[in-house]
Amino acid sequence: MPIIKNQQPNTSSTGRVRKKNQLIILKAAEQDFLEHGFKGASIKGIAERAGIPRANVHYYYKNKEAIYSDILLEILALWDSSIITSTEEPAKVLGDYILAKVMYSKTNPEASRIFAGEFIHGAPRLQEYLKTSFKTWIDEVKATVEGWINQGKMDPIDPLYLLFTIWGATQHYADFAPQVTAAMGKDKLSNEDFEQVAKTLTQIILKGCGISK
Amino acid sequence: MPIIKNQQPNTSSTGRVRKKNQLIILKAAEQDFLEHGFKGASIKGIAERAGIPRANVHYYYKNKEAIYSDILLEILALWDSSIITSTEEPAKVLGDYILAKVMYSKTNPEASRIFAGEFIHGAPRLQEYLKTSFKTWIDEVKATVEGWINQGKMDPIDPLYLLFTIWGATQHYADFAPQVTAAMGKDKLSNEDFEQVAKTLTQIILKGCGISK
DNA sequence: AAATAACCTGACACCAGTGTCAAGTAAAAT
DNA sequence: ATTTTACTTGACACTGGTGTCAGGTTATTT
């Protein structure tokens, strides 16, 4: 008798093989999404990259959307984690934040690019996130920076514009990597390059906002 | 007798209809590329958006790649056009450049996003450009900024990092528009918003580089 | 008003990717 | 050791997109 009841089974119990294979698939998928974009990527391509038959991918993931959701969730968790709210002095808080963002571009360029791709195409899958946890986080930061301004610790600059400047300037090194390397005449930025970026950027932004060290 | 010799005809002579239709196709294609990315876009989709039969699109363009090339060329021409080399004072030159870039994000968000998408996916079609006209442009700017530094008109900051900061910070408003609007709690940035962005950014960067007005 | 070149389009053959299923094998539980 | 559950995979039917072509219509030229 053929067994029928065996589709998408337990998530919680044993699942050792499951975990291992999902990781292989996700890593392959990340590359494929990066190279071809969401619509351009194919389960066929992902399966080939992962070195397993396509039907096996379908065993773990219903479709491309499901794989992508898993990847996006992981990225969001990472992205949110650098925290800016704090009781420290602005110079320290912003310096740390800029460094963290630059290092994120260095360490997780794939994540940064997938995230950017999502926005470029209108962020259809991030609407919920933008309305909830993102908005909350933004409001906290806004309050913190406004506090600094009221205490005379920095020039009166719209906190949002400050944030966008930091994001744009730091993510640029991941998202526009081919342009950056072409301009610098290198194949790849070194550790020292990234440290120098963080240092320079911190200098420009702190001084530009009238924050003394 | 059927006429055989009628494929992809004269580019230079009459071609009134040709010009009109190509424009319709390019505009439709731009939207489709924006929404779905290069690989995700389809000639079928472009034709439907343009309101003409698919075979008619094929009459003007051999394939998707050909359409995309046309669009990219136009974008590159536009992108290069803002000039930074000049004999004016740094405050004026950089201020103008930042304003131009912010306004480009406002006026041509589609172009900015397509351009960004290209880099995110590794810029396979821009290698030639990056090695030639882009590199030349970069070298000129580098020389100009280094001149300013040597004359003591600004702090010693790597010209490339300065450029990347400006690019990242300005393009962010086009490329990450959904994130920006979500943070600001608006549907769309107004004219005044963009002017304010340019003003704030100019302030941060000039002051941050130690440039006096 | 012919003739010629430009433009239009339905139809055809083709290819890449999808999702499901049945029949299997490997692993875990009993 | 057997049973149950988890995992694997080739095959199938299907969908959506591609590029070409023949025979048509509309513009332009002469």
pLDDT digits 0-9 by tens, A183-198: 999 999 999 999 999 9
| Alpha helices per DSSP H over chain B | 16-40, 43-50, 54-60, 64-81, 90-107, 109-120, 127-131, 133-150, 159-175, 177-184, 191-208
Q: Chain A contact for B124, CB < 8 A? A: no
Whether B205 contacts B165, CB under 8 Å:
yes
The CATH number linked to B89 is: 1.10.357.10
Q: Which residues of A touch B194 (CB under 8 A)?
A: none
Write the single-letter amino acid at A168. G
Considering the domain architecture, whether residues B188 and B94 belong to the same structural domain is answered as yes
Nucleotides of D under 7 A from a protein CB: 5-11, 16-25, 27-29
pLDDT over 60 (residue A102):
yes
Phi-psi region of A7 (alpha: psi -120 to 50; beta: other; left: phi over 0): beta
Tell me what pLDDT residue B76 has: 92
Residue B47: name the closest of B65, B35, B59 by CA.
Answer: B59
User: B44, B114, B176: best mutation site toward chain A, by most A Cβ within 10 Å?
Assistant: B176
Q: Which residues of A touch B196 (CB under 8 A)?
A: 158, 161
Query: Which residue range forms the structural domain that includes residue B109?
Result: 82-208
In a domain, A203, yes or no: yes
Q: Give how far A6 is from chain B: nearest CA, Å.
A: 33
Tell me what pLDDT residue A7 has: 39
Which band of pLDDT confidence, cut at 50, 70 and 90, is reported for residue B18? confident
What is the Cα–Cα distance from A86 to A133, expressed in whole angstroms?
18
Considering the domain architecture, whether residues A110 and A130 belong to the same structural domain is answered as yes
**What is the Cα gyration radius of chain B?**
21
- Average pLDDT of the residues of chain B: 91
pLDDT over 50 (residue B9):
no
Q: Which residues of A touch B41 (CB under 8 A)?
A: 39
User: A79, A101, A108, A120: best mutation site toward chain B, by most B Cβ within 10 Å?
Assistant: A120
Pull the structure tokens for residue A186. Answer: 């290198």
DSSP conformational letter for A157: -
Q: What does the pLDDT average to over A163-192?
A: 98
In a domain, B1, yes or no: no
Considering the domain architecture, whether residues B98 and B118 belong to the same structural domain is answered as yes
Chain-centre distance for alpha carbon B162:
19
Q: For a pLDDT cut of 90, what percent of chain B falls above it?
A: 85
What is the Cα–Cα distance from B129 to B113, expressed in whole angstroms?
18
Cβ neighbours for A19, distance < 8 A, ≥ 6 positions apart: none
Question: What domain count does chain A have?
Answer: 2
- Residue A124's Cβ-count burial label (10 Å; 0-12, 13-18, 19+) is exposed
Q: What does the pLDDT average to over B179-208?
A: 98
Q: What confidence tens digit (pLDDT) does each residue in A58-70 have?
A: 999 999 999 999 9
| Cα–Cα separations (whole angstroms), residue A151 to A55, A145, A148, A162, A198 | 61, 10, 5, 17, 26
Q: Give how far B84 is from chain A: nearest CA, Å.
A: 16
Which band of pLDDT confidence, cut at 50, 70 and 90, is reported for residue A79? confident
Q: What confidence tens digit (pLDDT) does each residue in B24-82 have?
A: 999 999 999 999 999 999 999 999 999 999 999 999 999 999 999 999 999 998 887 66
Q: Chain A contact for B86, CB < 8 A? A: no
The verdict on a CB contact (< 8 Å) between B208 and A210 is no
Tell me what pLDDT residue B176 has: 98
Which band of pLDDT confidence, cut at 50, 70 and 90, is reported for residue B124? very high
In a domain, B11, yes or no: no
Tell me what pLDDT residue A14 has: 60
Pull the structure tokens for residue B84. Answer: 């930074």
Q: What confidence tens digit (pLDDT) does each residue in B68-114 have?
A: 999 999 999 888 766 666 788 999 999 999 999 999 999 999 999 99
In a domain, B20, yes or no: yes
Residue B84: name the closest of B173, B159, B152 by CA.
Answer: B159
In a domain, A6, yes or no: no
Tell me what pLDDT residue B41 has: 97
What is the Cα–Cα distance from B188 to A122, expressed in whole angstroms?
13
Which band of pLDDT confidence, cut at 50, 70 and 90, is reported for residue B13? very low
Q: What confidence tens digit (pLDDT) does each residue in A104-131 have?
A: 999 999 999 999 999 999 999 999 999 9
Tell me what pLDDT residue B90 has: 95
Which band of pLDDT confidence, cut at 50, 70 and 90, is reported for residue A78? confident
In a domain, B160, yes or no: yes
- Average pLDDT of the residues of chain A: 91
Q: Which residue is nearest to nucleotide C29 (CA to C1')?
A: A14
Considering the domain architecture, whether residues A142 and A171 belong to the same structural domain is answered as yes
Q: Which residues of B61-98 are buried (b: 16+ CB within 10 A; e: fewer)?
A: beebeebbebbbeebbeebeeeebeeeeebbebbbbbb
What is the Cα–Cα distance from B24 to A156, expressed in whole angstroms?
46
Residue B176: name the closest of A102, A30, A134, A29 by CA.
Answer: A134
Tell me what pLDDT residue B72 has: 95
DSSP conformational letter for A41: -
Q: Which residues of B touch A171 (CB under 8 A)?
A: 168, 172
Residues within a 7 A CB radius of strand D: A 3, 5-6, 9-10, 13-18, 21, 52-56, 58-60; B 2-4, 6, 13-14, 16-17, 42-45, 54-55, 58, 62-64
Considering the domain architecture, whether residues A62 and A93 belong to the same structural domain is answered as no
Write the single-letter amino acid at B144. T
